[in-house]
Structure 1
């Protein structure tokens, strides 16, 4: 008999837990170091450290109220994703694999939306964050996007026949 039925849920549990811990610490850092991280969002949205191309600068958002609203929305999204993944980890531990898989999927997709669509596409391309040497979060966003993708893939790997027959 293969070890897959026992090790696959274990792998999903550990990966979900690590991702939950990571994003919880990111959210906590954004909350407890609000001012420094707020500056990051403000500079990216203002596009004040990009090449200042007139064809792109019309995209910039210089309203501090809108910049801060975006930052608070990011923190809320990260916090909810962390809570979803923490709960998913608990469900993996409790061997409620179907619900754990679903919630892990929701949590990872939330992170993929934030870091893929939000930071890579919108921040990186729309606000030309890639042009900034000082306020460029593309590497960090790529790490979170890829890690989330790995967790999502492992979570959805098919389990063996023995696992499918075993009562949960």
Structure 2
């Protein structure tokens, strides 16, 4: 334990946090592939806006096509696979370069940063912005994932800041 410096601990913590987020992505992927219909149903209800309250003046935004529901859901699944794979590669790169010079370790963050950006796109842009602001998801009593997405975003935005900080020496 005497060889564990604060600088080394910071490097390990970055790798571990990326591993935690990668694990989350793996669980999401398993859920989507093993129980496709649960999340498909959620996506279909949000896109069709059939459970939103008091949204008569914005119903022109609704997408009622099951064909498009499946395509949009597969887009989300694809983005989740992309961010998970990038985060896994990022975790591996951080671990692989844990003892490298600071500049090399900092460059090893590229895949982690790309993975986190893809996750921000899904959970902030797609769910919190498009889902809530365009499809009025937050007025649905049953199909509202605004808070769930916010909790994820509340983790990944500080994670992005922490990972990108160049404090290692």
- The answer to whether the Cα contact below 8 Å between 1:91 and 1:99 also exists between their aligned partners in 2 is no
Q: For 1:98-129, what per-residue CA distance to the aligned partner results, in whole angstroms no more than 9, with x for missing partners?
A: 34311111111111111111000001110000
User: In structure 2, how many angstroms separate the alpha carbons of the residues matched to 1:99 and 1:31?
Assistant: 33
In structure 1, the gaps of 5 or more residues are 164-168
Q: Indicate which of 25, 28, 40 corresponds to 1:26.
A: 28
1:100 aligns with 2:102: no
What is the correspondence of 1:1-168 to structure 2 with a 5 Å cutoff? Answer: 3-95=5-97, 97-160=105-168, 163=169
SS in 1 for 2:62: coil
User: In structure 1, how many angstroms separate the alpha carbons of the residues matched to 2:109 and 2:79?
Assistant: 20
- The answer to whether the Cα contact below 8 Å between 1:84 and 1:106 also exists between their aligned partners in 2 is yes
**Deviation >3 Å, runs of 4+:** none
- The answer to whether the Cα contact below 8 Å between 2:40 and 2:70 also exists between their aligned partners in 1 is yes
- The answer to whether the Cα contact below 8 Å between 1:42 and 1:67 also exists between their aligned partners in 2 is yes
User: In structure 2, how many angstroms separate the alpha carbons of the residues matched to 1:32 and 1:99?
Assistant: 36
Deviation at 1:143, TM superposition (A): 1.5
More divergent stretch after superposition (106-115 vs 89-98): 89-98
- The answer to whether the Cα contact below 8 Å between 2:55 and 2:136 also exists between their aligned partners in 1 is no
- What is the count of residue pairs matched by the alignment? 160
- The answer to whether the Cα contact below 8 Å between 1:11 and 1:154 also exists between their aligned partners in 2 is no
Q: What TM-score do you get using the length of structure 1 for normalisation?
A: 0.90
In structure 2, the gaps of 5 or more residues are 98-103
- The answer to whether the Cα contact below 8 Å between 1:60 and 1:127 also exists between their aligned partners in 2 is yes
